[in-house]
Amino acid sequence: MILLLSLALWLNTAICYLTFYQNGRQSFRRSALAASLGVFFFLAAITEILGVLNAITSMAVTGSWLVFDLFLLLHYLRLQKKHNTSFSQITKGWLSGARAFVQRAGIFTIILLSVISVATLIVAIVATPNNLDSLCYHLSRLGYWVQNKNVSHYASHIERSISFSPFSEYVHLHTFLLSGTERYFQLLQWSCLVGILAIISLLTELLSDSKWTMRIALTFAATLPIAVLESMTTQNDLVVAFFIIATAFYVFDFAKTQNRTSLIFLVLAVGLGMMTKGTFAFYALPFGLYLFIFMVSRPELYKSLVALAAGTLVILLLLNAPFWFRTYQLFGSPIGPMTNGNKTHFNGPADYISSLSKHVVLHLGFVSPGNKYNILIENQLKKLHHAMGIPLNSAGTGMDFKMNKLNFNEDFAHNFLAIWLIIFSIPLLFFARLSRPAKLYSRLALLSFLVFCFFIAYQTYGSRLHIAFFMLYSPVIGLVYSSFLSGFLSKSLVFILWLAALPFALLSVTHPLLSTKWFFETVFPPINSALNLNINIEGNMNLKQESVLFSTPEKALWGDYWPETEKFLKEVNAHHPKKIGFDFEEDSHDYAYQYSLRSPGRVFEHVAVRNLSGTLEKPDFQPDVIIAERYEGEKFSYHNKLYISLAFALDRWLYVPVP
């Protein structure tokens, strides 16, 4: 039944092609982008509707897609007859556009990007989802939604699972209910990266006629280490980046053509982006302000501006108001609780410069003999703070600063080459021969990062939050460097970026395509010793992993803790529980427990919840066993039932009812 989703996307692409883009040279890419937004909108809206009806079931979801596909098919057939065309003619038009795109992007660039895309696609399909955030909250919420047959908030020790925007997880919910498997979860981020590259190609063609502008921009975006790693996970930073870059494209597309079709899809991108992650607002804000100024300065666009504002408000509320209302009811805020580590608390301009500098330097770390390079960079950062008269780790500017050397984890990998290319591109912008729209776009892309750093404080895992900026800035990289580099040097830059990204596609810490065990036991030690890199690989748990082609799901989920965990779970199953209570911490691996303990008729609930969502606990729920990662004493009373603890290693306890 998963093909119902693919069929909807194909039919909607054909409909958008016949309705809006049939005669354009970018017809397929524009049609596919518009169709994706339309399908995503349906998915988000139907999820909320089914949730209100307590109908989040496999049958109801499948039925909804059948009805949607039937509607699209009938509409497509009507358009096909109206335009006197056929499926083969549409396909020929798409293939013609594809050939033109390949010619413009270049065979060399296509081959390089295909190698990385195929490698990450294999991992995305084969690997068991095991990203830490996904185990805690991205995927854990799915089990409770399916169990409760709605997407209402529920009692949870992990506040992020009920307060963070849900769109990505709505997509996972549908793929799971349509297919009955987690196999397709990681394809969302992978597909969004492909979509981002398609939008970047459209943007570069809006801003420049140079072929090398597109080739450099596409390679820059496709080889970002953090993006390569995230494309194989169930996080949502690439998903929100997709909507951010789509927003930027439609803004500039409308500014160039005044085609109101762009405003329709702009509204959808904004609504869906806000439903995915709050960072959307910061990166999209400069582009929104530009569009507002552009339309206000032209009296003939006043009506369009009013329609845009009204449409944005309606779609924004239609998609987001239900979730915001549920969150407000529980936490007293539509965005839920935010930790001090996420938001800024500035006392003056120096604090902002401090935060901005740490966001940038986050990407500058690298390996070097004796760690001299990192020491040099960090000393310069300290000197800057000394000159401003504030400490490096000033309160309100984020987490304590830490230089990163080289990391193959999707939470902490940084973009060393990319940030240096951006730094060098800024002065070159003053000398590059760019069109007025290209110069304006460059400024807005930079401004988006400045806005983000104003609202969001430095975090050691902030690299993934920067993905949207790097994607927005990709066309600028293409514009600047294609202006100064010859064809040979441009091709060399493309190859170097690809070569630097290849290890990240093959050697991810959490799900490597090639065995990292082999790499860190055989290849890396001589290099580490010869160059005096001083990298302690023995102190890193789960660093030496088998290839995902040979790893078991349990080993992927639990890593080196699996042997002890397996014994623990066997003891849980020995009690044949139908109802299992979870007494967790904020960072517990909720989804991993659900995955390993899943059984027909088995129910999971969080118990003894210590935050505001505790009010949502079901008073009649009396678990057969309780899995606790917090010691509640030898005896534990819950809902008038007494439990006694069985101690186990790894800070886990199993509580069973007193006989």
Residues paired with residue 654 on neighbouring β-strands, in sequence order: 627, 646
Give domain status of residue 65, yes or no.
yes
Least confident of 326-340, 371-385, 416-430, 629-643: 326-340
Q: Tell me if 515 is assigned to some domain.
A: no
Confidence label for 268 from pLDDT (cuts 50, 70 and 90): very high
Instruction: pLDDT band for 340, please (50, 70, 90 cuts).
Output: very low
3-state secondary structure of 89: helix
CB 472 within 8 A of CB 284: no
Alpha carbon distance 388, 382 (integer Å): 10
Residue 521 has pLDDT above 80, yes or no: no
Distance CA 159, CA 339 (A): 11
pLDDT of 260 over the 80 cut: yes
**Which residues are within 8 A (CB) of 213 and not within 5 positions of it... i.e. 6 or more apart?**
204, 207, 475, 478, 479, 482
The neighbouring-strand residues paired with 398 are 458
Comparing 188-197, 454-463, 524-533, 641-650, the range with the smallest average pLDDT is 524-533
Angle at 639 between CA 635 and CA 640, to 5 degrees: 65
Domain end, chosen from 310, 331, 352, is at 331
Assess if residue 544 is contained within a domain: no
C-alpha 158/C-alpha 9 separation (Å) is 34
CA distances (Å), 302 to each of 253, 294, 295, 298, in order? 18, 10, 7, 7
β-strand pairing of 603-606 with 579-583: parallel
Q: How far apart are CA 615 and CA 604, in angstroms?
A: 17
**Greatest alpha-carbon span in the chain:** 81
CA dihedral sign, ordered 315, 39, 246, 185: positive
Percentage of residues in the chain having pLDDT higher than 90? 80
Check if the beta carbon of residue 656 is closer than 8 Å to that of residue 644: yes
As a dihedral over the C-alpha atoms of residue 256, residue 302, residue 270, residue 113, rounded to 10 degrees, the angle is 0
Identify whether the C-beta of residue 537 lies closer than 8 Å to the C-beta of residue 528: yes
Rounded distance between C-alpha atoms, residue 120 and residue 123, angstroms: 5
Helix, coil or strand: residue 394: coil
Mean pLDDT of 210-217: 96
Residue 58 has pLDDT above 90, yes or no: yes
Contact 457, 398 (CB under 8 A): yes
Q: pLDDT grade, residue 540 (50/70/90)? A: low
End-of-domain residue from the set 290, 313, 331: 331
Instruction: Please list the residues that pair with 646 across neighbouring strands.
Output: 654
Reduce the DSSP state of residue 458 to 3 states and report it. strand
Which residue stretches of 127-166 are H helix? 132-133, 140-148, 160-163
Is residue 18 over pLDDT 90?
Answer: yes
Q: How confident is the model at residue 420 (pLDDT cuts 50, 70, 90)?
A: very high
pTM here?
0.96
Q: Residues 244-253: what's their mean pLDDT?
A: 98
Residue 185, both tokens: 């979860």
Query: What is the count of structural domains for the chain?
Result: 2
**pLDDT value of position 171:** 98
Give which of 288, 217, 208, 297 is closest to 247, Cα–Cα: 288
Taking the C-alpha atoms of residue 23 and residue 25, their distance in angstroms, rounded to an integer, is: 7
Q: How far apart are CA 205 and CA 110, in angstroms?
A: 17
Using DSSP, state whether 206 is helix, strand or coil: helix
Residue 414 within any structural domain of the chain? no
Choose among 41, 28, 32: nearest CA to 9.
Answer: 32
Question: What does the alpha-carbon distance between residue 202 and residue 218 come to, in Å, rounded to a whole number?
Answer: 11
Tell me the C-alpha distance between 322 and 151, whole Å: 10
pLDDT band for position 601 (50/70/90)?
Answer: very high
* Interatomic CA distance for residues 109 and 644, integer angstroms: 63
Q: Is the dihedral of CA 455, 459, 465, 471 positive or negative?
A: positive
Average pLDDT over residues 47-62: 97
Question: Does 485 map to a domain?
Answer: no
pLDDT digit string, tens, across residues 75-119: 999 999 999 988 888 988 888 888 889 999 999 999 999 999 999
- What whole-number distance in Å separates Cα of residue 484 and Cα of residue 535? 38
Please report whether residue 424 resides in a domain. Answer: no
Domain that holds residue 210: 3-331
**112 belongs to a structural domain:** yes
pLDDT of residue 543: 67
Q: Do 410 and 226 contact (CB within 8 A), yes or no?
A: yes
Would you say residue 650 lies in a domain? Answer: yes
Residues 603/147, Cβ–Cβ less than 8 Å? yes
